[in-house]
Amino acid sequence: MTIRVLIADDQALVRSGLAALLDLEPDIEVVAEVSTGAQAISVIPSTRPHVCLMDVQMPDLNGIEATQSITCDHPGVAVIMVTTFGRTGYLKDALAAGARGFIVKDTPASQLAETIRAVHRGIRVVDPELAASSLAEGSNPLTDREQDALRCALTGDTVAGIAARLHVSAGSARNLLSQGIQKTGAANRVQAARIASERGWIPPL
């Protein structure tokens, strides 16, 4: 049986490149290419994919949020996260959202095709290096509010700006940032935000 594949990635070159490679496989057909998570959700009823290749960072609705929606409303669609960002936090969030695979974009084409076939058969496939790193790092130590504060810091917001965006006092914002700095082992809030982002402990922008 031909495996029908939907590709969701906001980079046109990546989408077309993946589609061209997969169209060389005799048992795989790319049925749609979209640039946002919301578009991926919207085309599923008309394109009826078996597998969705989903980027993490996209406008409108990020890949993890889109995956959660797809696995809830279309459980027959197997989602594989295909991302440049090989971060353990993203891996955990993706699996929690229901993704059946998680691989990085420099995965060889033949391996990507095999991953599609495997998840279509019901097998979960995760990049082995990421899986090992995830076990070594443990769970995300940041609370939801600390994640929010560091995500604001990642965009360069001041303490006053962070307080305003989170609807808290400046003192509360400083406390959240201080806790984030301590948990990441960073020297300041900007470094803490970068560390948390690299580890996938804060949601994608």
Distance of alpha carbon 164 from the chain centroid: 27
Residue 134 has pLDDT above 60, yes or no: no
Fold of 144-198: Arc Repressor Mutant, subunit A (1.10.10)
Residue 192 has pLDDT above 60, yes or no: yes
Q: Residues of CATH 3.40.50.2300 domain(s) within the chain?
A: 3-136
At residue 96 the predicted structure's pLDDT band, cuts being 50, 70 and 90, is confident
Q: Residues of CATH 1.10.10.10 domain(s) within the chain?
A: 144-198
pLDDT at 8: 96
Over range 39-45, report the average pLDDT. 96
At residue 53 the predicted structure's pLDDT band, cuts being 50, 70 and 90, is very high
Homologous superfamily of domain range 3-136: Response regulator (3.40.50.2300)
Query: DSSP letter string over the chain?
Result: -PEEEEEE-S-HHHHHHHHHHHTTSTTEEEEEEESSHHHHHHHHHHH--SEEEE-SS-SSS-HHHHHHHHHHH-TTSEEEEEES---HHHHHHHHHTT-SEEEETTS-HHHHHHHHHHHHTT--EE-HHHHHHHHHH-S----HHHHHHHHHHHTT--HHHHHHHHTS-HHHHHHHHHHHHHHHT-SSHHHHHHHHHHTT-S---
Over range 50-57, report the average pLDDT. 94
pLDDT at 204: 63
At residue 22 the predicted structure's pLDDT band, cuts being 50, 70 and 90, is very high
Question: Rounded distance, CA 192 to CA 183, Å?
Answer: 8
Do 28 and 2 touch, CB atoms closer than 8 A?
Answer: yes
pLDDT at 136: 45
pLDDT in tens, 143-177: 989 999 999 998 888 999 999 999 999 999 999 99
pTM of the model: 0.68
Instruction: Please list the residues that pair with 30 across neighbouring strands.
Output: 5
pLDDT at 29: 96
